[in-house]
Structure 1
Amino acid sequence: MNLSLFPAEPAFRDRLGARLRALAAEGVYFGTSSWKYPGWLGQIYTPERYFTRGRFSQKKFEGECLTEYAEVFPAVCGDFSFYQFPSTDYWQKLFAAAPPSLQFAFKVPEEITVREWPKHLRYGARGGSMNESFLNADLFQNAFLRALEPYRQRVGVLIFEFGTMPKRQYEGVEPFAADLSAFLDQLPAGWRYSVEIRNKEYFDERYFQVLKRRNVAHVFNSWTRMPELPEQLAEPSSVTADFTVARALLRHGRAYEQAVEKFQPYKEIQEPNPPAREGLKEILERARNKRQLAFLFVNNRLEGNAPGTIAEVTGVEGV
């Protein structure tokens, strides 16, 4: 890579940062899904900050870019925690790399939210078997929350992501809602919890009531099989908490792998997504009008470049 072809654009970066800080002061936090993207060099990241002996260092970039990320964005969603229970040392290093002002959202480990392990090489011999730790509140508290406790004030929200579940796991929304209800009843107070579903048929009053009774937010999500964001927002019952969480992830009907192939290395917007933008703008205005806390996260796989999408949604020119 000839990094000289990607000069930093402080004008755009500074304008975006100023706009997002102003919104955060009103309680509306925008961020991206993860942050270690070399495709953002020259847009969000300054290449020279990651030079070692006159050359760009990928290792230095991955270890230090969160600091520069926080100069622009007030929040970030850590997807990495879905695949592991991070150690105490890992959390310490992560939070030390960012200023106290940066708000984190973390996906709860799949060990808690996957009912049946996928038949995938990554899961080895347990692929296809039922997960004995599914909705285990004790495991969640002891292996996840306990290590995060020292940083509670810097954790904006925790996300329980439930992937698409076939009928052999749950016949419908009612048994799922019952199990979810029992699980949420066991969780300690003092954290913001949210739930993201990937089954369209679970988008139902019985699911919403489980969340609403406990002030747990439904995650408004743009995803392959879910209704578009405006359609989710049109359902009055979908507002289940005194704060809002949204994740703009994929175009409706598109698989994750297809989006990766189409958009990487995520240097620019390649395919605008009007419904997702409309939904994010509506959530933004709702939160501001109600003076309600909101966390809105955008993934590179939505349009090709998450910073550019956020700039479009928040009215920052010169993407």
Structure 2
Amino acid sequence: MARALEQEHALARPIAERLPPGLRFGTSTWSFPGWAGIVYSRARSVKELAHDGLLEYAQHPLLTTVGIDRSFYAPVPDGDYLRYARQLPPGFQCVSKAPHAVMSQVFMAPGLPEDERGPTVTPNPDFLSVEVFEAMHARPLLGSFREHAGPVLLEMPPVGAANRLPLPAFLDRLDRFLSEAPRGLRYAVELRERAYLTPAYAEVLRAHGVAHAYSYWRSMPLPGAQAETVPVTQAPFVLVRLSLKPGRAYEADKARFAPFNRIVEPDPRMRAEVVEIVCAAAAAGIPAFVLVNNKAEGSSPLTVRALAEQVAEAWAARGGQAE
């Protein structure tokens, strides 16, 4: 495994040297035993990697950011943030998720078996609550992890047409949240309801200097189509998140792609659109973050390498300079 990792680093290093400045690639999270020989030098358990895997992860030449997804489900204790910080080099920035308790418009609980109406839907009184967001996420992040606090991802879970707020009401709530959100952090919004992807939504983000997360997700258009509505250059940074091919089922692809040590289903169109987005950002002198999930193509670190190689080639073809 150690020899395989040396070879992987040898492949990745010259690619990293040819990338445009300000571009960071990473994975949605890091605790996957199947990455032995790709990111890690030996076989380790999920628990071990979750505890101290970042130390080796951050040595990979192409992995210069990472997602902290667990903050979506519960606050991250200060002790865990401090442990992560000890494993990361100076300047390494992480993309953390804002909590589900603040980002979801409704809560859905499964109905009783005899209840033919399906899940019980309850409105979330804390949807886009600045006070709850600050207590659960912003304050710990800025206190224990400030040096490594990259963009905060405001991922809006899908709730369906019957449960979502009308567009004007949603935009009003989003506008108020972004107006009052704690300073000292950068924000990116990821939509999972395509009805909200409109010029009016783009204008709310532009007014606050907030990025749109160009997503690769089962119910959303491809990243290139999203960039037609929300221009790449309208925010001070770019975030791309590759999670799941549109139209696919998360659990089915998770089972099909495990143990995430090979590319199972490459998507050339998606890759080409991501390359175009990050090269447009680089040409404008805008930093970019690209996070990849295993469910995008089968192995997120290998997708990162493939994307990075294509970006390096495209950037060289453009002359390798910002405008």
The separation in 1 between residues aligned to 2:130 and 2:154, in whole angstroms, is 12
The alpha carbon displacement at 1:16 in A equals 1.6
Partner residue, 2:277 = 283
The alpha carbon displacement at 1:303 in A equals 0.3
Partner residue, 2:115 = none
Indicate whether 1:247 and 2:241 are aligned.
Answer: yes
Q: Is the 8 A contact 1:173 1:206 kept in 2?
A: no
Indicate whether 1:208 and 2:237 are aligned.
Answer: no
Q: Is the 8 A contact 2:32 2:46 kept in 1?
A: no
Q: Residue type of the partner of 1:63?
A: H
**CA offsets 1:193-217 (integer angstroms, 9 cap, x no match):** 0100011111101111111100000
Q: Residue type of the partner of 1:69?
A: Y
Partner residue, 1:190 = 184
Matching of residues 48-197 of structure 1 within 5 Å: 59-72=47-60, 73-120=63-110, 128-150=121-143, 151-197=145-191
Q: Residue type of the partner of 2:128?
A: L
Q: Is the 8 A contact 1:221 1:249 kept in 2?
A: yes
Matching of residues 32-47 of structure 1 within 5 Å: 32-47=27-42
Q: Is the 8 A contact 1:23 1:29 kept in 2?
A: no
User: Greater shift after overlay, 148-157 or 101-110?
Assistant: 148-157
Q: TM-score, normalised by structure 2?
A: 0.86
**CA offsets 1:167-223 (integer angstroms, 9 cap, x no match):** 333353221111111111111222110100011111101111111100000100000
- Of residues 12, 19, 22, the one that matches 1:23 is 19
Instruction: Give SS of 2:19's match.
Output: helix
The separation in 1 between residues aligned to 2:31 and 2:45, in whole angstroms, is 13
The separation in 2 between residues aligned to 1:77 and 1:202, in whole angstroms, is 24
Root-mean-square deviation (CA, aligned residues, Å) is 2.2
The separation in 2 between residues aligned to 1:63 and 1:144, in whole angstroms, is 20
The alpha carbon displacement at 1:133 in A equals 1.6
Partner residue, 2:318 = none
The alpha carbon displacement at 1:159 in A equals 0.4
5+ residue gaps, structure 2: 112-118, 311-323
Taking every aligned residue pair, what percent have the same amino acid on both sides?
Answer: 29
The separation in 2 between residues aligned to 1:62 and 1:236, in whole angstroms, is 35
User: CA 1:62 to 1:140, structure 2 compared with 1: closer, same or farther past 3 Å?
Assistant: closer
Number of residue pairs the alignment of both structures matches: 300
Instruction: Give SS of 1:230's match.
Output: helix
The separation in 2 between residues aligned to 1:155 and 1:301, in whole angstroms, is 25
**CA offsets 1:214-265 (integer angstroms, 9 cap, x no match):** 0000100000010011212233546541210110111110021121111111
Instruction: Give SS of 2:123's match.
Output: coil
User: CA 1:80 to 1:294, structure 2 compared with 1: closer, same or farther past 3 Å?
Assistant: same
5+ residue gaps, structure 1: 51-55
The separation in 2 between residues aligned to 1:165 and 1:216, in whole angstroms, is 23
**CA offsets 1:256-287 (integer angstroms, 9 cap, x no match):** 11211111110100001122211211122112
Instruction: Give SS of 1:46's match.
Output: coil
Q: Is the 8 A contact 1:229 1:279 kept in 2?
A: yes
The separation in 1 between residues aligned to 2:251 and 2:233, in whole angstroms, is 30
**CA offsets 1:96-149 (integer angstroms, 9 cap, x no match):** 22222321000101011012112259xxxx963222221110111122211111
Partner residue, 1:8 = 4
The separation in 2 between residues aligned to 1:260 and 1:57, in whole angstroms, is 18
Instruction: Give SS of 1:135's match.
Output: coil
- Of residues 203, 206, 212, the one that matches 1:218 is 212
The separation in 2 between residues aligned to 1:61 and 1:189, in whole angstroms, is 32
Partner residue, 1:232 = 226
User: CA 1:162 to 1:239, structure 2 compared with 1: closer, same or farther past 3 Å?
Assistant: farther
User: CA 1:18 to 1:109, structure 2 compared with 1: closer, same or farther past 3 Å?
Assistant: farther
User: CA 1:28 to 1:247, structure 2 compared with 1: closer, same or farther past 3 Å?
Assistant: same
The separation in 1 between residues aligned to 2:95 and 2:201, in whole angstroms, is 22
